[in-house]
Amino acid sequence: MMKITIAIDGYSSCGKSTLAKALAAHLGYAYLDTGSMYRCVTLYALRKGLIKDGSFIKENIINILDEVNLRFQFNAHTKASDTFLNNENVEKEIRMMDVSDNVSKISTIHEVREHMIAIQRDLGKNKGIVADGRDIGSNVFPKAELKIFMTADTDIRVQRRFDELSSKGQHVSYNDIKANLLSRDYDDTHRKENPLKQAKDAIVLDNSDLTREQQLEYILRLIKDLTLTAD
């Protein structure tokens, strides 16, 4: 079976990463978590004291890009890839609310996006990859053989995020999570640099009422139909 590129875009807390990881594991593909890459830049900037009360100087962020070394490593215990920033496993730290509160604004910086996109395209040049993010099908891999655009009801997304953080021992109010999610939706869809939008040839997947297993089965059917047509 030929290897393809699978691009998954969509709103925050729609389960893009969960689906992408499951697909990659099932197909034996590489998984590229582009959102984690922007989160790493944000975490590094926070640690350097370059973000204060949600504000930052753009040039300071641009100047640290060459200091940010990223890699993904398979975790045999979790059966998923962990994100490493400068050889440190930061998978937990990049999911914290202070990172979530700032990542959308950091990702609007042109130089940050160009730096990350160059890395992403290099990692995906040989196909056999599943990538998720905000502009994967519309910008990073516009020629991807399969493009998915994920969405879900806002309150369902908030509850999923609340449950996720609670399971990790992070106590954040439901209203704070909702405010963060709505703010990120606005930032993602209104930024000048490659905003979140549905690619013209993307297939919409509203998973408000779908289980993880149902989502995986649906995408696998799409892939089977696609590869059979190509053959």
Q: What are phi and psi of 195, to 5 degrees?
A: -65, 160
pLDDT, one tens digit per residue, over 33-71 is 888 999 999 999 999 999 999 999 999 999 999 999 998
- DSSP H or E run through 104: helix 97-106
In a domain, 156, yes or no: yes
Q: What is the mean pLDDT of the chain?
A: 91
- CATH no. for residue 154? 3.40.50.300
The predicted pLDDT at position 28 comes to 86
**Interatomic CA distance for residues 125 and 68, integer angstroms:** 21
In a domain, 228, yes or no: no
44 neighbors 85 (Cβ within 8 angstroms): yes
In a domain, 230, yes or no: no
**Interatomic CA distance for residues 11 and 162, integer angstroms:** 16
**Interatomic CA distance for residues 228 and 47, integer angstroms:** 49
Range of the domain at 40: 5-222
The predicted pLDDT at position 33 comes to 85
In a domain, 231, yes or no: no
Mean pLDDT for 92-119 is 93
**Interatomic CA distance for residues 188 and 210, integer angstroms:** 24
Least confident residue range of 58-62, 76-80, 213-217: 76-80
Between the two ends of the chain, the Cα-to-Cα distance in Å is: 8
- What the block records as the tokens of 120 is 């992403």
In a domain, 229, yes or no: no
Q: Which of 10, 3, 21, 35 is nearest to 212 (CA)?
A: 21
The predicted pLDDT at position 1 comes to 64
Helix axes 34-47, 97-106, angle to 10 degrees: 110
Provide the 8-state DSSP code for 179. H
Number of domains in the chain: 1
In a domain, 40, yes or no: yes
Judged by DSSP in three states, 33 sits in strand
The predicted pLDDT at position 228 comes to 64
pLDDT(2) > 60? yes
> What are 30's strand-pairing partners?
129
